[in-house]
């Protein structure tokens, strides 16, 4: 099934994120046109940082849209043209205070394909070395270290509810079981 985008117009830009209105002709609809609003996003990275002794490093941070704190894997938005590995290294230092000696790509996920084209690259981060970069001014982050098995338990109990974190931790668990 193929849709035809007749027109796309940016209605708002914030940083490197655009909100656009699309005029779309639906297939097999005798020319019927609908309107959709889509968020264009440059993409992001998210890391599952594992210590040498098997702990995972998470971040507890306030999320304005959810109006609450969430427990998450460190993550961040790609700058235009930025290599995802470079972004992962930077964001892990900014959010958790570690530089990864090794990054293993675990896959790519869509965040919410009904409203945005944002994709997140997931990385298992190992061989961690203490290294801090200043956090973004709107980030209120507390680093949380826990056994990997406890993070999985917190998914099952509903304490961890962030989708990228759930998927990332489960992908890492599967990867580690295969190695």
Q: Which two tokens stand for residue 44?
A: 């992001």
Domain edges within the chain: 4-40, 44-178
Mean pLDDT value across residues 23-52? 94
Give catalytic status of residue 137 as yes or no.
yes
Going 84 to 87 to 93 to 99, the CA torsion angle's sign is positive
CATH number of 44-178: 3.90.79.10
Annotated catalytic residue within 91, 102, 118, 137: 137
Query: What region does 89 belong to: left with phi over 0, alpha with psi -120 to 50, or beta?
Result: alpha
Contact assessment for residue 106 and residue 179, using Cβ atoms and an 8 Å cutoff: no
Tell me: pLDDT of 91 over 90.
yes
pLDDT tens-digit readout, 69-87: 999 999 999 998 999 999 9
Number of H helices, E strands in the chain: 3, 10
């Amino acid at each position: 099934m193929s849709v035809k985008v007749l027109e796309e117009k940016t209605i708002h830009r914030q940083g490197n994120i655009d909100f656009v209105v699309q005029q779309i002709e639906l297939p097999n609809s005798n020319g019927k046109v609908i309107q959709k609003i889509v968020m264009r996003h440059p993409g992001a990275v998210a890391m599952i940082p594992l210590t040498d002794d098997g702990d995972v490093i998470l971040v507890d941070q306030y999320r304005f849209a959810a109006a609450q704190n969430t427990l998450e894997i460190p993550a961040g938005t790609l700058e235009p043209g930025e290599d995802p590995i470079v972004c992962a290294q930077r964001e892990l230092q900014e959010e958790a205070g570690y530089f990864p000696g090794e990054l293993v790509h675990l896959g790519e996920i869509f965040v919410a394909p009904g409203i945005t084209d944002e994709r997140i690259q997931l990385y298992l981060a190992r061989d961690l070395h203490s290294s801090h970069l200043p956090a973004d001014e709107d980030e209120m982050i507390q680093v949380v270290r826990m056994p990997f098995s406890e993070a999985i338990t917190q998914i099952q109990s509903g304490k961890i509810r962030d989708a990228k974190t759930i998927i990332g931790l489960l992908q890492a668990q599967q990867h580690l079981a295969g190695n």
